[in-house]
Chain A
Amino acid sequence: MTQPLLEVRNLRTYLQAGARQVKAVDDISFSIPKGETFCLVGESGSGKSVSALSVIRLLPEGVATHPSGEIIFNDQDLLKLADSGIRAVRGSQIAMIFQEPMTSLNPVLSIGEQITEALYAHNPDISDSEAEQRTLKALEQVQIAHASRRFHDYPHQLSGGQRQRVMIAMALACEPQLLIADEPTTALDVTVQAEILRLMRQIQEDTGMSMLFITHDFGVVAQMAQWVGVMQQGQLVESGSCASVLHQPQHAYTQQLLAALPENLTKPKLQAALELERPATPLLSIRDLKVWFPINKGLFRRTVDYVHAVDEVSLDIFPGQIVALVGESGCGKTTLGRAVLQLEPPTSGSIKFRDQELIGLSARTLRPLRQKMQIAFQDPQSSLNPRLLIETTLTEPMKVHGIGDSHEHRIELASQLLESVQLTRDFLWRYAHEFSGGQRQRIGLARALAVNPEFIVCDEITSALDVSVQAEILQLLLSLRQQRQLTLLFITHNIGVVEYLSDQTVVMYQGKIVEQGDTAQVCQQPQHPYTQKLLAAVPRLKTIR
């Protein structure tokens, strides 16, 4: 058995936050063979990022301590190296790339400068022309077109995918033996992610370098890794070969995580009954909707052009359906969702709710209609007013629409609402900052339900949540739809959720609808080339169920 490239033994990393000490990494051990990829998977707070940062000791000195453990690399214990020693390793033998390519690159230096800097740091005698040559070669290796011109560009002039390629080029410049990648594709669109992952696999084949890949997405694990380690609260609960962990998980937590994936969730049986009877008249009817934002430039802020956020969209939503609105960032799905609720002013077109035209109504006429249509938001941090008690947040809309006979009655209704989203009654008397992300999303749903709407727009409500919390929220939505006969417009970029949750799927690209139809149809036999590309790019687990 050849010696592994990297061997981590009993690593502990404790972080100091004010007076508290957090055991971010609590006794983990794993090893990475040469030329192969090891994936560390886990939810937020599991310690996977901290583990990666610990390998090359990138955690801030005053904050992090390593009470025990060894990290053996090339016959050296990295934890015991002096500062100069670890610096010699960083960048040249072990390189690292990060999650957010925009903020991970220095905005005031050109990308060429930043790559050559890595070369100069480890090869002080290198000549300028050789450094430039090697940089151009690295840029070509990551498939950046017109590398010689791009050399002098600044990070803000590149797209997200290109910036991540530059980060990879920077990491590869000194030809490292190990690449640590901390969620490198999480912030990218799914099609871009597919390209970057393919690139990384290619590079690994060409150079024979090993990878330590951190992610929370099991689909990505299946595509990239030979070995997997599952982390929970600082501990490595299961590790082994990819095939065995993903298809025959031993530990309860791994099983729970895998079961929570949308592709593995089971739908309640009553679903079928609803699908049979579809009423003839749509609940919501959108025709030729345009939402254009003016671009104002110059001294007098003249309108020089428009951003076509939503460009002639026509759509029918029938009662009782869950319609998924899918697309990548910038396609206009969020704008469409908000425009339906008149939160963004439409430029032209028509939106009819039960045959009543919504565009152009005054605020007063719109008010009773607003009771029927509600919205739930993506970001748990900003979706609740931090100054109000949950009780006020829930009862105020009720009061405005005349629901409930008295204040006490409304409080009772609010309590029932909280219970229906699986929270306890006493949460009424607390403030928003006291809850976790998942709890806040539930409260957001409760607020949307407070006025007994018929139609709710869910704007990426699970995108910011861990996969297990997401599973709970999705199942909650299905049961709520059942109980209250709701119609949902579910906006998301996650294809797995679309396949699990929705009856109809609408695919958007650059403000237009490119494909729509039954979910089963769209996801298994996509017609439009963009849809095909989108579906092909989704990393799958390939589970046999």
Chain B
Amino acid sequence: MIKVVLSGESYAARVWRKTRNGVGVEVGLAWIALLVFAAVFAPFLANSMPLLMSKDGIISAPVLHYLSIEDAWVLASFFIALLLYKLKLRAGQRMALFLVSAVIAAVLVNVYVNPPKLVIYDDFRSPAYTQVAWRVMPPIPYAPTDYLRDLVSKGLEAPFETTGHLHLMGTEENGADVLSRMIHACRIALSIGLIASGIALFIGVIVGGLMGYFSGLTDMLGMRLVEIFEDIPTLFLLLTFVAFFGRSLYMMMVIIGITGWSGYARYVRTEFLKLRKQDYVQAAVASGLPLSSILFRHMLPNGIAPLLVALSFGIAGAILSEATLSFLGLGVVDAPSWGQMLDQAVKSSSFNWWMAVFPGGAIFMTVFAYNLIGEAFRDAIDPKLTDDAGIE
């Protein structure tokens, strides 16, 4: 007889524990944590304006004055999320609370935060800001869109090459500091990854769920739709969308989401069909449990695992898609993006290695991290890979 381990551990906790034990997962999680930190606190990490300064006896924080709506909202959401994490609530409640408070925060921020429309970065290097009692500068004293015109930047210079001011990762073609742009690009990368995948997941779950629930004609039509989206080379569809619809950041998120849902739909449909046949679902039906309970308490929690695996890979894919679009010249225009920086690596017939290694390396590390986590998670939920290896 098998000796049973009475651990009292829930399924979710067990899977999470196994995932964390995967190879390199801790490193991957650490990297993502670093990215999140950089994304949230970017205005404080890399900016041309001082964090704090004291002039004529008045202490002021120019950074806060120039905080954009987006910056403020991101900061607010981050702290709300942190708070919710600490509180003991069920997953569903936490999600709902987070969404509600994020929306409220968005509204409040829109009303109360009014940064000046035009920012001239050269001012911060003028005597008005430099001749002060003391000032605390951010670790990287350049803003991402600060093209250093007053310093007559030559653009595309290797790290440490520029005389007079230090650029740890060199400068890009317009003169801005690469490291600063990289830090601010984290925000775009992460948000595109999450939002685009979120949209794709949402669409995929609905279509897949409908296909699984109402088989027959709905299923047939749905499968044709899935096939259409699968057969088009996604990149091509993306290009078409972007070229014709314009290149704003939000547009791109939506577009990447709309083109990527077919995989999720397939997974949901497969899981649905499999779960319907499971004995415990049949038992729930035989007990007369209401449909909502059968769907959300019995089927959904058991079917969600492969979806989460796909989500992890999907986020990596979304980040790659954005980078590729930027690389091909169809990405966001002014905001910093890793792909766009990578595009500059092979310009002007000389190989600008720092434009390839740093942004490229960042993309690689991020994609690698998500892939590692996805792989470990997939191994954790695989019922065949249990510890006992079934020796009977």
A–B: direct contact at CB < 8 Å: yes
> CB within 8 Å of B: which residues of A?
15, 17-18, 22, 24, 43-45, 49, 63, 301, 338, 341, 343, 363, 366-368, 370-371, 373-375, 377-379, 382-388, 396-397, 400-401, 429-431, 433-436, 444, 447, 451
Q: When the two chains form their complex, are residues B278 and A431 in contact, meaning their CB atoms are under 8 A apart?
A: no
Q: Mark B282-301, 1 if CB is under 8 A from A, else 0.
A: 11111111110100011001
A396 with B392: CB separation less than 8 A: no
Partner of A374, one of B10, B286, B301, B387: B286
Cβ-neighbour of A343 out of B11, B286, B290, B293 (below 8 A): B286
Chain A residues closer than 8 Å to B288, beta-carbon distance: 366-368, 370-371, 397, 400-401
**Residues of chain A contacted by B293 (CB below 8 angstroms):** 396, 400
Q: B6, B287, B297, B302 — which one has the most chain A CB atoms within 10 A of its CB? A: B287
- Among B10, B279, B387, the residue within 8 A (CB) of A383 is B279
Cα A383 to Cα B220 in complex, Å, equals 31
Tell me how far the C-beta of B201 lies from the nearest C-beta in chain A, rounded to whole angstroms.
Answer: 20
Question: B7 contacts which chain A residues (CB < 8 A)?
Answer: 434
In the bound complex, do residue A383 and residue B283 qualify as a contact, i.e. CB atoms below 8 Å apart? yes
Partner of A387, one of B282, B289, B302, B391: B302
Q: B391–A400 contact, CB under 8 A?
A: no
With contacts A17-B391, A396-B289, A397-B288 taken as known, whether A434 is within 8 angstroms of B4 at the C-beta atoms is: yes
Tell me if B391 and A24 are in contact (CB < 8 A): yes
Would A382 and B5 be within 8 Å (CB), given that A22-B391, A387-B301 are in contact?
no
Q: In the assembled complex, which residues on chain B have CB atoms less than 8 Å from the CB atom of A368?
A: 288
25 CB contacts below 8 A, A to B, read A15-B391, A17-B391, A18-B387, A18-B389, A22-B391, A44-B392, A45-B1, A63-B391, A374-B287, A375-B283, A382-B279, A383-B279, A383-B280, A383-B283, A385-B297, A385-B302, A396-B293, A397-B287, A397-B288, A400-B287, A400-B293, A431-B8, A436-B1, A436-B4, A447-B287
Chain B residues with Cβ below 8 Å from A363 are 291
Query: With A17-B391, A18-B387 in contact, do A431 and B4 touch (Cβ < 8 Å)?
Result: no
Contact B1 A382 (CB under 8 A): no
B298 touches A385 (CB 8 A): yes
Name the 4 nearest CB pairs between A and B, nearest first.
Answer: A370-B288, A397-B287, A377-B279, A367-B288
Q: Is B2 on the interface with A (CB-CB < 8 A)? A: yes
- Looking at the assembled complex, report how far the CB atom of B267 sits from the nearest CB atom of chain A, in whole angstroms: 18
Please state if A370 and B286 are interface contacts (CB–CB under 8 Å).
Answer: yes
Docked pose: A387 CA to B304 CA in angstroms: 11
- Residues of B near A384 (CB, < 8 A) are 280
Complex alpha-carbon distance, A379 and B4, angstroms: 18
When chains A and B are docked, how far (Å) is the Cα of A367 from the Cα of B289? Answer: 8
Q: State A341–B282 Cα separation when bound (angstroms).
A: 10
Chain B positions within 8 Å of A383 at CB level = 279-280, 283
Residue among A384, A431, A436, A451 having the largest count of chain B Cβ atoms under 10 Å: A431
In the complex the two chains form, what is the Cα distance from A447 to B283 in whole Å? Answer: 9
Q: Least Cβ distance of A452 to chain B in Å? A: 12
Q: Is the CB of B8 within 8 A of A430?
A: yes
Task: Decide: B2 and A429 in contact? CB cutoff 8 A.
Answer: no
Assess the B5–A434 pair: CB atoms within 8 A: yes
Which of B280, B387, B388, B391 sits near A385, CB closer than 8 Å? Answer: B280
Q: How far is the CB of B220 from chain A (nearest CB, A)?
A: 8
B27-47 contacts to A (CB < 8 Å): none
The listed residue (B2, B6, B12) touching A45 by CB distance below 8 A is B2
B231 beta carbon closer than 8 Å to chain A: no
Cβ of A43: which chain B residues have Cβ within 8 Å of it? 1
Which residues of A lie under 8 Å from residue B278 when comparing CB positions? Answer: 382
Residues in A neighbouring B283, C-beta threshold 8 A: 375, 377, 383, 444, 447
Once the chains are docked, how many angstroms separate the CA of A401 from the CA of B289? 9
- Indicate whether A377 sits within 8 Å of B282 (C-beta atoms), given known contacts A45-B1, A396-B293, A401-B288: yes
Given contact pairs A22-B391, A387-B302, A434 touches B285 in the complex (Cβ within 8 A): no
Instruction: Decide if B150 is an interface residue (CB 8 Å cutoff).
Output: no
- Tell me whether B9 is interfacial, beta carbon within 8 Å: yes
Residues of A within 8 A of B298 (CB): 385
With both chains docked as a complex, state the minimum distance between the C-beta of A433 and any C-beta of chain B, in angstroms: 7
Closest chain B residue to A301 by CB distance? B220
**Residue in A49, A341, A447 whose beta carbon sits within 8 Å of that of B392 in the complex:** A49
Known: A386-B11, A400-B290, A451-B287. 7 other contacts (CB 8 A): A24-B391, A44-B392, A45-B2, A370-B288, A382-B278, A434-B4, A447-B287
Residues 325-342 of B, flagged 1 when their CB comes within 8 A of A and 0 if not, give 000000000000000000
Chain A residues near B297: list those with CB within 8 A: 385, 388, 396
CA separation between A433 and B386, bound complex, in Å? 12
